[in-house]
Amino acid sequence: MKTIRCTTCRAEFTDEETEGVTCCPNCGSEGLPMAIADDVTITINWHELRILGMWASNYANEHCEESGRKALAMILHQIACQHPERAADSPLTLAGEIALLADLPGFTLIETNVKDLLEERPE
């Protein structure tokens, strides 16, 4: 039975698969994994979630190392995947909002390095 999930790549493992390892067998992350038994269900308004996502991703881009940014991107991606219809119209990050603007017909972004603003999308 899978008991542990990597915070960075979300791969799941049994206790036996992770016995004696010092990093995620899938992605090599050295971050502390999460216990699957601690999964919870919460109720929150999508707008509130967008505020949290935008603040968190902006903070992470300014203050966190790559591993922290990747973990946050994966968390936000996991949330967005649970509600793809909402995430498509109202992304959880400012970078996602900018990407939507770039797709509008006749809209031109002044910033030429838009790709630098977009977070890495987890696979």
Q: Averaged over 5-14, what is the pLDDT?
A: 95
Element (H, E) at 72: helix 66-82
pLDDT level of residue 121 (50, 70, 90 thresholds): very low
Beta strands in 1-70 (DSSP E): 4-5, 12-13, 34-35
Q: Which of 29, 27, 8 is nearest to 75 (CA)?
A: 8
3, pLDDT greater than 90: yes
Which pair of tokens denotes residue 58? 């902006």
Please give the model's pTM, rounded to 2 decimal places: 0.75
Whole-number pLDDT of residue 109: 67
Q: What is the pLDDT of residues 57-109, one digit of tens each?
A: 999 999 999 988 998 999 999 999 999 999 999 999 988 888 888 778 877 76
14, pLDDT greater than 70: yes
Helices (H), 1-123: 15-18, 46-63, 66-82, 84-89, 94-102, 114-117
Whole-number pLDDT of residue 119: 46
Whole-number pLDDT of residue 110: 66
Comparison of pLDDT for 10 and 113, the residue scoring more: 10
3-state percent breakdown (helix, strand, coil) of the chain, nearest 5: 50, 5, 45
